[in-house]
Amino acid sequence: MANLLIEKRERIRNKGRETRNKRKTQTAKSFEIKLDKSKISKEKINNLKRLFLEGKWFTNYIISKGITDSVSYKDYKVNKVNIKVKDKFEERELKVLSSQMKQYIVKRLQNNVKTLHKLSKKGKKIGKIKYIKSLHSIFLMQYGNTYKIDKNARTLHIQGIGDFKAIGLEQIPDNCDITTANLIERNGDYFLHVTVYVPKEEKVQNRKSIGIDLGIKDQIAFSNGIKARYSVEMPKRVKKLYKVFSRAQYNKETKESSKRRQKVLAEIKKEFSHENNQKKDINNKIAHYISENYEFVAYQNDAIHLWQRLFGRRIYQTSIGGFRDTLKRKVSTPLEVDRFTKTTGICMYCGYSLHLNLSDRMFRCPSCGRMQDRDVSAANAIKKEGLSLRNVGETLVDDNASTSKMLEYLKSIPHVKASISNEARSPEQMDVAHIEAPSVRVG
């Protein structure tokens, strides 16, 4: 018996080594799959609701055992827990929640306890782990056991519940290793976030570079002269929903909402979720094109959260902060320029520096006489500064063919309006007042 245990442990160690070595040649990716509610029976919908409810019960049950017990807790096969209903405790049976799901819930709580312990060692004030009112995610640890995917039948199997028709399974590549997943409940809909490992892709190495300036009027300006403007506005029906929500019954003492109030709140959350998805889609599409066509991408680390205090809705409707974060993850070589580096009002031809007011969208350089667009000029200054920080040296110049291709691609994205800046025209065609500038020379 002892020899069998030793052999089993050795097999597990060897398999772990093989997996770790394999992961060095792979990249992790996550895909979101949506469960098709139109093809789910009422019984399965109730089971899904029950799953998250039981997850909440089990979480609160573990918390009630105390910090010491929860860290050392090992009984994942418990099928009955006590829950507090108003002033008394009642016993509830766990019918849907599997042992592996319980195991991860305990593991998540253990990680929370360890994090709090580390913070307390650093001298920071910490509180207790509080009981939860609702649970919106269930971790599925093992592919093939807690869940399975059938791409041909377009179905998803969840342990203890059954099979579901799923939307978006075609996203998952064939040459990948499917690992863990997270079942998420969001505004009454159910999603599966699947983590897979695919072979590492070669980074773009075409020596092409581009500078990006983020702004309020034109959200994105590129150093090649292209400017993109986009915004996603909230539907007018949201205001009506808020009026209904404010008038619905709510008991301040018991903090209980009426069914009508809960239903309207779910609709409001769904509208916000739809709006955020549209903004993410725009940001991902633009960032994808940049990462596929440019090796060096320079951008400035602007304090966009401060912009939101001044411009509010205009920043919220664009999510340019999310675009910058997406760029950091996707591009081959991101070049971040410090936020305090002067990039506005620098001539991209001779390097002359002048002061511009916020209303000055175009300016003529007093030194070389070239007419320039404020944002495109800033994007070129960001590009030059970013390349100098990394000592990249000379890079290939983008030609007109690829510029027109980029413009055509941006115009095809919903909600995006793209154009080439007026600074590409000759100075004679521009009827813009000359801006007086102080005699300051840079570089």
For residues 388 and 395, give the distance between their C-alpha atoms in angstroms, rounded to a whole number.
12
Report which secondary-structure segment, H or E, holds 112: helix 99-121
Amino acid present at 226: I
Amino acid present at 435: I
Q: Given this model, what pLDDT does residue 155 score? A: 93
Query: In Å, what is the CA distance from 48 to each residue of 11, 162, 188?
Result: 36, 10, 11
Contact 286, 228 (CB under 8 A): yes
For residues 201 and 369, give the distance between their C-alpha atoms in angstroms, rounded to a whole number.
46
Phi, psi (rounded to 5 degrees) for 196? -130, 160
Q: Given this model, what pLDDT does residue 428 score? A: 34
For residues 136 and 190, give the distance between their C-alpha atoms in angstroms, rounded to a whole number.
10
Amino acid present at 15: K
**134-149 residue pLDDT tens:** 899 999 988 988 999 9
Query: In Å, what is the CA distance from 95 to each residue of 35, 51, 106, 124?
Result: 21, 8, 18, 40
Task: Name residue, tokens 């664009």.
Answer: 318
Contact 153, 81 (CB under 8 A): no
Written as one string, the DSSP assignment of 280-305 is HHHHHHHHHHHHHH-SEEEEE---HH
259-293 and 320-330 are packed helices; what angle lies between their axes, rounded to 10 degrees? 50
Q: Which long-range contacts (CB under 8 A, 24 or more apart) does 234-242 make?
A: 234/271, 234/272, 234/275, 235/271, 237/271, 238/268, 238/271, 241/267, 241/268, 241/271, 242/268
Angle 207-213-214 from CA coordinates, rounded to 5°: 135
β-bridge mates for residue 93, sequence order? 80
For residues 325 and 304, give the distance between their C-alpha atoms in angstroms, rounded to a whole number.
11
Provide the H-helix boundaries in 221-373: 237-247, 259-293, 304-311, 313-316, 320-330
Q: Which residues of the chain have pLDDT under 70?
A: 1, 67-75, 251-255, 392-401, 422-443
Phi, psi (rounded to 5 degrees) for 159? -55, 130
Angle 414-415-419 from CA coordinates, rounded to 5°: 100
Angle 276-268-134 from CA coordinates, rounded to 5°: 90
99-121 and 42-64 are packed helices; what angle lies between their axes, rounded to 10 degrees? 40
Query: Euclidean distance between the first and final Cα of the chain, in Å?
Result: 78
Amino acid present at 3: N
Question: Among positive and negative, which fits the CA dihedral 159, 164, 169, 174?
Answer: positive
Sheet strands (E) in 105-161: 137-140, 147-150, 155-158
The distance of Cα 227 from the centroid of its chain, to the nearest Å, equals 24
Report which secondary-structure segment, H or E, holds 72: none
